[in-house]
Structure 1
Amino acid sequence: MTLRLSTVILPVRRWHDGGRDEWTRAEELGFHAAYTYDHLSWRSFRDGPWFGAIPTLTAAAAATRRLRLGTLVTSPNFRHPVTLAKELISLDDISGGRITLGIGAGGNGFDATALGQEAWTPRERADRFGEFVPLLDRLLTETSVTQAGTHYSAVEARTVPGCVQSPRIPFAVAATGPRGMKLAARHGQAWVTTGDPKLFESGTPEQSREALRGQIEKLGKACADAGRDAEAMEKILLTGFTPDRGTPLSSLDAFVDFAGRHIELGFTEIVIHAPIPDSDFAADPAVFERIATEALSQLR
């Protein structure tokens, strides 16, 4: 597969004060896709501006023509499959079929308790994710769904007229554990990872790549068990969470080296964060734009 280069635009700027320009510039730079986080707030940005993912993507859909758009990632932390399906069908329609849903089990951040609930254990998150994804799949492919679950149910939920994309918008499933890998193999058109979080603080780039190799092998086994060809599944690396941290965006050469090593592992799409000054994602905008416009030609 040919490598695709995409970006994440965090929803921290007002739409009419630089927000819109980021999305249109991403299209001008030739990125395959531009994603955003689907959170109520996030880590070091918790006390600053943070806008909703679906409204932001809707505005971006109206402001662009070619760029694919999506979430990296949506989770059950504050979403329900029925209402999410309705929003996604609307967004897919407005964008003319340019939406990808990145979806994961969620974590224990602010989103996990913002609605007043206790934070779920890893097992509870996996249980909910295991219901959430199949029900959402049905809602986006059938016109009327009734299903009773332990955590999520639907009663004659209508999703007419359905997605523009057929049979539905593609899912990019974030997973590292066996249950998540099975969901990715059964329902995903793509698989997403940020690497091994245990290596972020004290690991080495070499250890990170070995861990990623192991994850891809687990995905391959899950796909084989599901009767799917893992080679045909897109494999997405969301950067910024491996021991390399900001190194890939330090220069064009550094990114080409980083990307080349991860292409060898089997990744087909690499996602880099649009620079945000004075944050974990600070980077030179000129280097970011050089990577967007020149890196792929050097990787062919």
Structure 2
Amino acid sequence: MSLRLSTVILPHRRWHEGGRAAWTRAEQLGFHAAYTYDHLSWRSFRDGPWFGALPTLTAAAAATGRLRLGTLVTSPNFRHPVTLAKELISLDDISGGRITLGIGAGGTGFDATALGQEPWIPRERADRFGEFVLLLHRLLTEDSVSYQGDFYSAHEARTIPGCVQRPRLPFAVAATGPRGLALAARYGQAWVTTGDPKLYENGTPEQSVQALRRQAEKLADVCAANGRDVAELDRILLTGFTPDRNRPLRSLDAFVDFAGRHQELGFTEIVIHWPIPDSDFAAEEKVFERIAMEALAQLR
């Protein structure tokens, strides 16, 4: 399967002060998709500008015509399946069926406490995530849903007319553990990983490749156990969180080498961060654009 190249554009700029330009330029550069993070605030950007993911994607949908759009990733930390489903159906309609929902269990960052709750322990996050995905799947594929779970409920929730994409818009499930991988195997059209976080500080690129290989093998095993061919799932690597960090964006050759090694692992899509000066995602814009326009031709 050929490799696709996508980007993630953080929602930290006002729409009319560089925000819109990034999304339209992403389409001009030929990226397969452009995603954004679905957070209320995030890491070092917490005390600076940060805009909502779904309104940003709605504006991006109106400003572009070909580019796929989505979240990497949405989580239960501050979302409810009923209201999220309604917004996603609207966004899929506005975009003409170009939306992918990246979805994950969430973590213990700022989103975990922004609504005044205590951070959930890992088991509760996994429990909530399972219900969240199940209910969201039903809401996006059925006209009327009633559901009573341990964490989420719906009473005759209407989601008419449903998604433009049928039977619903695709889920890209972020997961590394057995329960998350099982959700990817059952409900996902794609699987997302950022690598092994334990290797970020002191690991090597070679160790990271081995860790990603093990993750991909686990996904294949879980898919087989669920009666699904792993080849049916796209496999997405969100870069910037492996020991390589942003080094693959230093030159076209460096990126081609990085992408080739991960394509050999079975990844079908690599996502790189839109450059942000003076941040963990700093990169030369000219090099970034050259990678977008030329890298895949060298890998084919």
- Interval of TM-score (by shorter of Structure 1 and Structure 2): over 0.9
Task: State how far apart, in whole Å, the 1-side matches of 2:240 and 2:231 are.
Answer: 25
Question: In the aligned structure 2, how far is the partner of 1:165 from the partner of 1:130?
Answer: 23
Distance 1:226 1:99 in 2: 26
Q: Which residue of 2 aligns with 1:97?
A: 97
Paired residue type of 2:114: A
Equivalent position amino acid for 1:172 in 2: A
- TM-score, normalised with respect to structure 2: 1.00
Structure 1 unaligned runs (5+)?
Answer: none
Shift of 1:231: 1.5
Scaled by the length of structure 1, what TM-score is found? 1.00
Percent identity over paired residues: 82
Could you report, residue by residue, the CA deviation over 1:100-151 in whole angstroms, capped at 9, with x for unpaired residues? 0000000000000000000001111000001000110000000000010000
Give 1:226 shift: 1.0
Who is 2:64 aligned against? Answer: 64
> C-alpha separation between the residues in 1 aligned to 2:126 and 2:187?
15
Deviations 1:48-79 (A, max 9, x none): 00000000000000000000000000000000
Q: Which runs of 4+ in 1 moved over 2 A?
A: none
Task: Say whether 1:260 aligns with 2:260.
Answer: yes
Distance 2:121 2:174 in 1: 18
The aligned residue for residue 2 of structure 2 is 2
SS in 2 for 1:162: coil
Q: Equivalent residues in 2 for 1:5-20 (5 A)?
A: 5-20=5-20
Give, in whole Å, the separation in 2 of the partners of 1:90 and 1:233: 25
Instruction: Quote the Cα distance in structure 2 between the aligned partners of 1:230 and 1:193.
Output: 15
Unaligned 5+ residue runs, structure 2? none
Could you tell me how far apart the structure 1 residues matched to 2:208 and 2:122 are?
A: 22
Equivalent residue letter for 1:63: A
1:178-193 correspondence to structure 2 within 5 Å: 178-193=178-193
Alignment RMSD: 0.4
Query: What is the CA-CA distance between 1:43 and the residue it aligns to?
Result: 0.1
Partner residue of 2:199?
199
Report the alpha carbon displacement of residue 232 of structure 1 after superposing the two structures with TM. Answer: 2.0
**2: CA distance between counterparts of 1:162 and 1:225?**
30
Question: Is residue 226 of structure 1 aligned with residue 258 of structure 2?
Answer: no
Q: Deviations over 1:167-206 (max 9, x none)?
A: 0000000000000000000000000000000000000001
Q: How does 1:1-300 map to 2 (within 5 A)?
A: 1-300=1-300
- Cα distance between partner residues in 2 of 1:121 and 1:197: 18
Q: How many residue pairs align between the two structures?
A: 300
- Distance in 2 (CA, whole Å) between partners of 1:191 and 1:248 is 22
